[in-house]
Amino acid sequence: MGRTARRLGAVLATLPLAAGLVSIAAAGRGSATASAQVTRLSGVDRVATAISISASAFPAGANSAVLSRSDDFPDALAGTPLAVAKGGPLLLTPPAGLDPRVAAELQRLLPSGASVYLLGGTAALSDAVAAAVTNLGFRVVRLAGADRFETAAVVAAQGLGSPTTVFVTTGTAFADALVSGVAAAAVHGAVLLTNGASVPAATAQYLSSHGGLTVHAVGGSAAAAGIATTDSFVGTDRYDTARLVATHFFPAPTSVGIASGATFADGLSGGTQIARVGGPLLLSGPAALPTATQQYLGSAEPTITTAYLYGGTAAVSAFAEAGVQAAITGAPPPTTTSTTGAPAPAHFSTLPPGAPLPDDATCASEVRATPENRPDNATTNATRGVQKNLTSPYPTFARVDGNYAGTTDEIIQWVACKWGIDEDVVRAQASIESWWHQSTLGDWGTDAAACAIGYAIGVDPSGHPGQCPQSVGLLQVRYPYWTNGFPQVETSTAYNADYAYAAWRACFEGQETWLNTVDRVGTYGPGDMWGCLGVWYSGRWRTSAADGYIAAVQQNLSQRVWEQPDFTG
């Protein structure tokens, strides 16, 4: 679609036969899951978020449902494996009465007479809640003990049939129990609770009365409780503990769930959903993705196809979401957020589909000053584009204006910011397309109708007699396919890049649905950064030509060719 065949051919010639795999591992870990997507499940509050998760996990209904109080976690900590075993969601409601939204969701989900399990005694979920559920035509099963520790033991014995695999974790905090519940569901086990580093009577009784148990301790308090355990998982903090559990029980998941490590509710509901599809629950800080979570996502990236985020941006920020998207697609991670009033970002990173994109002025103010290494671009770099209010070929093109002037690298930063794509990926792709020279011409042919504006057949500035160039500029915008970008893609470096990445973002957002109607490999969908780079070259989805181009870009990315001495020419 737009490329410099000469330079691309030279790069491809240096790649081994399996270069797509080799260079991907170096630059981004592969195209097998480059199409991995982030799906956020959220609502206006924790009750609505739980309902959103339920609707996603059980669109056609469920066998049963589990109810827990929405304002505190103690009795809910053992609920995840119960909900998974019973084939239903875990929903939240205030202790005093059944939330009308939850009542409606129960009616949508369940057939008449189905069981609804209530976690905890009447202080946790009142008799009014039980009566309301009964009045809806469902059977109430209350699983309760004298305290949270006994409730967990009751859930294990009565709700789950006394499984022989148990996870012990503290009941005085929620984080370790959330991740334990998902792992327990995966191995058909139960969660029992310690009181910090001491063992409550109900927990001790369960452990002593069941022989041949496999016991996993999760978290430092449980590991220090003196229980004979099969193994223990103790990280440096709750995020690292979650990583250790995920690494052991879910070494190669196709799906992962991520919830706030600062509050319990979204992880409680989300844990049931991710456990159903065989993935782990990981934890995030509200503002940014912790290093431990990044490490796990990076190690499991070859198999991950979907990451679920539970809760709104107050629970897991858009910046943290961008970190997840980068980790599961092999892109460089974001390093800072521009929405906090902090100094300009140290690096512009890929923003997930649907994320708000910054405007021209914001990006211009955040570009970092860099010297010019392409003095031949001086005129086109100083030429700002003009807004044409494009309505085609995709909605993204309405934003194209090329309204920036600066050095070549500053223009690259600006367009990376504006379209939410990693700046180093832009640098690498531009090195493939033009070696950063806006004067580059490519895709030479003999069709006069396909000539770039100002280049007729026989006008031969580059040794191509009887031909004309079809592609021009920093990103090699090709005239036959992108006619409404001309002539500004020729005269303005910023407009050339702006136009090219409007096309990339349209693909990344899922707007290029026609890709599924032509020859392709796999199914096109939103969120595949690398796949959409391949479309720019080949006009097709994940074909061998597209993946060869991706491998070339990734090789230049891994080598950071723009920093090498020979790049100055």
Give pLDDT tens digits for 507-530. Answer: 999 999 999 999 999 999 998 889
- Domain locations in the chain as residue ranges: 5-34+352-568, 37-329
Kindly write down the DSSP assignment for every residue of 408-469, as one continuous string: HHHHHHHHHHHHT--HHHHHHHHHHHHTT-TT-EEEEES-GGGPPTT--TT--TTS-TT-EE
Q: Which two three-digit tokens encode residue 132?
A: 């309301």
What's the rounded mean pLDDT across residues 97-115? 97
pLDDT, residue 22, reads 24
pLDDT, residue 211, reads 87
What span, in angstroms and rounded, lies between the C-alpha atoms of 433 and 152? 61
Instruction: Measure the CA angle with vertex 57, ends 193 and 241; round to 5°.
Output: 35
Range with top average pLDDT, 25-29, 422-426, 496-500: 496-500
Amino acid at 112: S
Q: Which two three-digit tokens encode residue 527?
A: 């969120």
- Range in 277-291, 403-417, 423-437, 457-471 with the lowest mean pLDDT: 457-471
pLDDT, residue 217, reads 97
What's the rounded mean pLDDT across residues 497-502? 97
Confidence of residue 11 (pLDDT cuts 50, 70, 90): very low
Query: Contact 155/79 with Cβ under 8 angstroms?
Result: yes
What span, in angstroms and rounded, lies between the C-alpha atoms of 250 and 271? 14
pLDDT at 372 over 70: yes
Q: List the beta bridge partners of residue 229.
A: none
pLDDT, residue 115, reads 98
Amino acid at 212: G
pLDDT at 343 over 60: no
Range with top average pLDDT, 17-21, 213-217, 356-360: 213-217
pLDDT at 121 over 90: yes
Sequence-ordered list of residues with C-beta below 8 angstroms from that of 135, at least 6 positions apart, any chain: none
pLDDT at 349 over 50: yes
Closest CA to 123 of 88, 174, 71: 71
Kindly write down the DSSP assignment for every residue of 315-348, as one continuous string: TS-HHHHHHHHHHHHTPPPP---TTSSPSSPSS-
Q: Average per-residue pLDDT in the chain?
A: 89
What span, in angstroms and rounded, lies between the C-alpha atoms of 253 and 306? 9
pLDDT, residue 97, reads 97
Residue-wise pLDDT tens digits, 228-261:
999 999 998 899 999 999 999 999 999 999 999 9
pLDDT, residue 510, reads 94
pLDDT at 6 over 70: no
Neighbours of 122 (CB within 10 A): 14
pLDDT, residue 482, reads 95
Q: Where are the beta strands (DSSP E) in 245-387?
A: 255-260, 281-284, 306-310
Closest CA to 253 of 179, 187, 327, 303: 303
What span, in angstroms and rounded, lies between the C-alpha atoms of 162 and 214? 12
pLDDT at 542 over 70: yes
Closest CA to 289 of 303, 307, 305: 307
Q: Please name the helix (run of DSSP H) or strand (run of DSSP E) that holds residue 66, with its range, or none.
A: strand 65-69
pLDDT, residue 462, reads 61
pLDDT, residue 9, reads 46
Share of the chain above pLDDT 70, in %: 91
pLDDT, residue 569, reads 58
Query: Contact 332/63 with Cβ under 8 angstroms?
Result: no
130 — phi, psi (to 5°)?
A: -60, -40
Query: Contact 117/138 with Cβ under 8 angstroms?
Result: no
Quickly tell me which residue has 């934003």 as its tokens: 399
pLDDT at 481 over 70: yes
List C-alpha distances in Å: 232 to 50, 59, 180.
Answer: 30, 37, 11
pTM: 0.58
Q: What is the SS3 assignment for 484?
A: helix
- Range in 7-21, 107-121, 352-366 with the lowest mean pLDDT: 7-21
Q: Where are the beta strands (DSSP E) in 107-155?
A: 115-119, 139-143
Confidence of residue 461 (pLDDT cuts 50, 70, 90): low
pLDDT at 4 over 50: no
**Based on the number of CB atoms within 10 Å of its own CB, is 466 exposed (0-12), middle (13-18) or buried (19 or more)?**
exposed
Q: Which two three-digit tokens encode residue 107?
A: 């009616």
Confidence of residue 320 (pLDDT cuts 50, 70, 90): confident
Residue 121 carries which DSSP code? -
Torsion angle in degrees (nearest 10) through CA of 103, 105, 107, 108: 170
**Based on the number of CB atoms within 10 Å of its own CB, is 45 exposed (0-12), middle (13-18) or buried (19 or more)?**
middle
In 519-555, which positions are buried (b, 16+ CB within 10 angstroms) versus exposed (e)? ebeeebebbbbbbbbbbbbbbbbbbeebbbbbbbbbb
Confidence of residue 25 (pLDDT cuts 50, 70, 90): very low
What's the rounded mean pLDDT across residues 199-222? 95
